Structure 1
Amino acid sequence: MLYRDEQPPIHLMRPAQPQGIDRSDPNDMSCHPLVPFSNRIAGSHFVFHGRAVDLPPNAPFIQDVIHGHGWKTPWNVVEQDDQTALLSFSHEADCWPYPYRATQRFHLDEDSLSITLELANLGDLPMPAGLGLHPYFPKPLGTTLTAELDGVWLGDDRHIPVERVPLPIGWDFPHGIALDEAVLDNNFTGWSGLAAIDWPSAGTRLTVEATPPFRHAVIYVPAHQDYFCFEPVSHMTDAVNRAATGESGTGFAELAPGQVFGGTIRFKVSSLR
């Protein structure tokens, strides 16, 4: 995404990296979808309606299965025009024993991009379900992130949630924090569906607006990198296992046969001046 104002054009998402395009590596893209779950499932294992499911790890150097199928799966272009594109893929039952269809609809307006994600259960049994987006944003000096959040899950060394706590003083995202020195990889709770990324050096703001079910957010700010991620997601990390323990507020969703689950995330650009 490029933005042109009186200033020179700037990138609103990190440009796809040439080596990533050559390798078809989603980690080097500008954004990728998270379907049928976001982030990690602890031990790559869960039990749902009495059925044990074991999934193979799917990313280098990460012990637990992560981000589902959509980020590494080719999608079909169903329709497109100057402003809209609809992409789709269908998953047949395998070690994830629930067949489903996922779609992404992109719609470009003069000042915004909207992405609608949907997931439909094509099977005869209920299935666990989750959705999210994993955009990468530039992080020049002075980048500030503001988001209406109320808590954060602290995790273990594998980034599996262990304890939910109120926002620490240093992570006061509702009032905005500069990301220059931040190092984060956490799942935040209570997101209102509204966030803002400010790039003062470019005089530009990108507002992120999301409908339900996107009421959780993963914030990833790696050390010594020129990008960060603010990921609108429908559930906490490892929600399928946490919900099975009786944990509330996980965002876990169960889709009945034929049921459709989804929502829209909008990225809107404006001037800070």
Structure 2
Amino acid sequence: MSSDLDEARCDLIELRAHEATAVIAPGIGGSVASFSWNHMGEAIHWLRPATQQALLARDGSGIGCFPLVPYSNRVRNGRFAFAGREIRLPSAPLTDPHYEHGHGLRYPWSVTHLTPSSVVLTYRHKADTWPWDYEAAQEISLTSDVLTIRLSLRNLSDQPMPAGLGLHPYFPANASTRLKADVAAMWATDAEILPTTIAPLRADANPTAGLNIARCDLDNVFTGWSRRATIAWPDQGRSLDIEAQAPLDFLVLYTPPCKTYFCAEPVSNATDAFNLAARGRDDTGLFVLDPGEIRTTAVRFAPHFTQLCQSSLSKRGKRLS
């Protein structure tokens, strides 16, 4: 067992800048295994850190953050139609009926550039049940204790490709954790957690007013997101600002009850966007890449101590343009 874990750890890349450390797992879906600060000899985790079990199993869903390409979230029954063609993704009726989250977390990524504080990862997909060639890239960097992930998607096929992209970070949660984000509305869902209609914000599910994560049970897409959110851990005197670029105009919140984590996912498209768009909706966030076209975005995770003061932990990077 220990040799297996040592082998898994050998595949990890450690980035450092000032007091920050980010551990990257290229072979586990191009994921961020952890993002932490060293505060008085203690690791302060801003993302949920990978467990030994997740590293051993090479499970991208069990670590800190993974990329969403070539779309975000679920596709109903793994099927949709585009440009007169029916696409059938390899969904599994019992374990993954809606082929969730695309390819990014399922395959290893290649390291194409590495410095002490940054790494560039690429994933190239050859057409299969997803009948388009494409390349995705991530530039993951630490600057002044801030983590930035720049994500791009390029259509390498000779036909237009429907697409979306985003990030799926997991954050630590306890009884006092709160999240605030300006949004306009939310997608209501059916029993399979697939969207049915856009609905007004409920009093118990209103990120604009602020949410106590421990009191929520959400797995919903929020629309009209300002691309800014703040997570606070008041009992620990710290907070984390999330800043995203276009086209990440949707925020997915997943707050499972009685768990020590939750997700706040900056994404470009609503869940099941392909099928919703095929039925005539124009508000799904779905975009189409022409042959050779590239779409790029970025997300910045900027930590703060709100009560504790230490100059080495108060450096701030430039805001995303």
Distance 2:156 2:123 in 1: 12
Q: Aligned partner of 1:168: which letter?
A: R
Aligned position for 1:47: 81
Aligned position for 2:173: 139
Distance 1:14 1:171 in 2: 23
After superposition, where does 1:83-162 map in structure 2 within 5 Å? Answer: 83-162=117-196
After superposing the two structures, state which structure 1 stretch, 85-94 or 175-184, moved more.
175-184
Pairs aligned (count):
273
Distance 2:155 2:123 in 1: 13
Corresponding residue SS for 2:204: helix
Deviation at 1:89, TM superposition (A): 1.1
Aligned position for 2:106: 72
After superposition, where does 1:1-16 map in structure 2 within 5 Å? Answer: 1-5=35-39, 8-16=42-50
Alignment of 1:261 onto 2:270: no
**1:84–1:154 Cα change, 3 Å:** same
Aligned position for 1:247: 281
**1:60–1:72 Cα change, 3 Å:** farther
Distance 2:256 2:41 in 1: 28
Q: CA RMSD in A?
A: 1.4
Deviation at 1:70, TM superposition (A): 0.6
Equivalent pair of 1:10/1:202 in contact (CA under 8 Å): no
After superposing the two structures, state which structure 1 stretch, 58-67 or 185-194, moved more.
58-67
After superposition, where does 1:56-67 map in structure 2 within 5 Å? Answer: 56-57=90-91, 61-67=95-101
Deviation at 1:38, TM superposition (A): 0.6
Distance 1:73 1:268 in 2: 28
Aligned position for 2:318: none
Match 2:238 to one of 201, 204, 210: 204
Distance 1:203 1:180 in 2: 18
Distance 2:106 2:136 in 1: 13
Corresponding residue SS for 1:231: strand
Distance 2:118 2:93 in 1: 31
Distance 1:59 1:138 in 2: 31
Q: Aligned partner of 1:41: which letter?
A: V
Q: Which runs of 4+ in 1 moved over 3 A?
A: 4-9
Distance 2:40 2:287 in 1: 45
Greater relative contact order, per chain length (Cα 8 Å cut-off, separation 6+): 1
Corresponding residue SS for 1:223: coil
Q: TM-score, normalised by structure 1?
A: 0.97
Equivalent pair of 1:98/1:127 in contact (CA under 8 Å): yes
Corresponding residue SS for 1:21: helix
Aligned position for 1:191: 225
Distance 2:55 2:127 in 1: 28
Q: Aligned partner of 1:220: which letter?
A: Y
Aligned position for 2:212: 178
After superposing the two structures, state which structure 1 stretch, 170-179 or 259-268, moved more.
170-179
Deviation at 1:141, TM superposition (A): 1.9
Equivalent pair of 2:181/2:210 in contact (CA under 8 Å): yes
Q: Aligned partner of 2:54: which letter?
A: G
**1:6–1:199 Cα change, 3 Å:** farther
Distance 2:243 2:117 in 1: 19
Distance 1:183 1:90 in 2: 36
After superposing the two structures, state which structure 1 stretch, 42-51 or 5-14, moved more.
5-14
Deviation at 1:174, TM superposition (A): 1.2
Distance 1:161 1:56 in 2: 21
Distance 1:195 1:7 in 2: 28
Deviation at 1:157, TM superposition (A): 1.2
Q: TM-score, normalised by structure 2?
A: 0.82
Deviation at 1:57, TM superposition (A): 1.4
Distance 2:242 2:72 in 1: 18
Q: Aligned partner of 1:173: which letter?
A: P
Distance 1:185 1:59 in 2: 20
Deviation at 1:180, TM superposition (A): 1.5
Aligned position for 2:3: none
Deviation at 1:5, TM superposition (A): 4.5
Equivalent pair of 2:214/2:258 in contact (CA under 8 Å): no
Distance 1:219 1:142 in 2: 17
